[in-house]
Structures are given as structure tokens and as C-alpha cells.
Amino acid sequence: MHQSDGLESLPTVEAEEPAPRTLLLRVRGELDIANVAELHTVLDDELGEGEFSRIVVDLSRVTLVDTAALRTLQDLRRCCRLQNMQLVLVGTANPAVHRPLRLTGLLPLFDTRLTVQAAMRGHTSSSPDTASRLRVGQLPSRIDAR
């Protein structure tokens, strides 16, 4: 569990493995340039330590999404595609998340579910190639909308 350096005692990003080969990231608060580095750090740590076939990102408690966060989500999408992992976003009905994803045209590019439980039911059993494992922070920062 990673905590923000601010006065707030609640973590900004929590990572857990609720099922085999599934990484669940629960993100809360503002996902902006000031704290997107924490998300990168958690992703890099978790992807470096475990072999996952699915990443579920719960954004239901996010209050703000800026361009740095959108870029990070797009980089994560690209990373998952390269490693043959399933990426599922939860909480995209949340207006703070839905609006920026819709306005930028990114929303249809993501597999989205209403709840974490629904995301957990949609498991695929692909096996990532650990030899070609990439870190999210090493991906190009240019957004590729394909």
C-alpha cells in the first residue's frame, strides 16, 4: 500500500492481488500531474514483481483526471496490449473520469465495467511473456489512439 505525502491519511493508490494473476489498483482523489507519479511507481513495482494476465484499475473514487493521467492510462493500455494482458477500467461512469475520457475520444478504447466484481468475472487466462516485460514509465509518452 502506498500513501500520499500530504496531510490526508487515506492512500492515493492501493494495489492488491484479489485473484491469481490479477492486479487490482484502487485509485482515489485527484489523478493529476502532482500524483500521477505515484501511480507510475505502483504500476512499475507491481509489474516488476508479479506475473499478471489482468489489470483492473478502479477509478470510482477519483475526483479529477488531467492530461497526465490520461497519458498514463493510455500508456498502461499500450503496455497491456504489448504484454497480452487484459486491462479493465472500473468507475468510468464517475463524471470526473467519464468526461475527460469521452471528450478525448479515449473511452471506447478501454474495456470498462461498472464494478470491480464485474471486472473480476471477465478474466482471460493469457500468459505474459516475462522476458519482454516493459515498465509503464518506459513507454513512449505520445498518445496512440489506435
Cα–Cα distance measured from residue 62 to residue 79, given in angstroms and rounded to the nearest whole number: 22
- Is 80 part of a structural domain of the chain? yes
Is the Cα dihedral 63, 3, 35, 46 positive or negative? negative
Partnered with residue 33 across adjacent β-strands are none
In a domain, 136, yes or no: no
Q: What is the CATH number of the domain that holds 48?
A: 3.30.750.24
Supply the range of the domain harboring residue 37: 13-122
Residue 70 has pLDDT above 70, yes or no: yes
Q: Is a pLDDT exceeding 70 seen at residue 134?
A: no
- Domain count of the chain? 1
Q: Helices in 27-106 by DSSP H: which ranges? A: 36-49, 67-82, 95-103
Calculate what percentage of the chain has a pLDDT beyond 90. Answer: 64
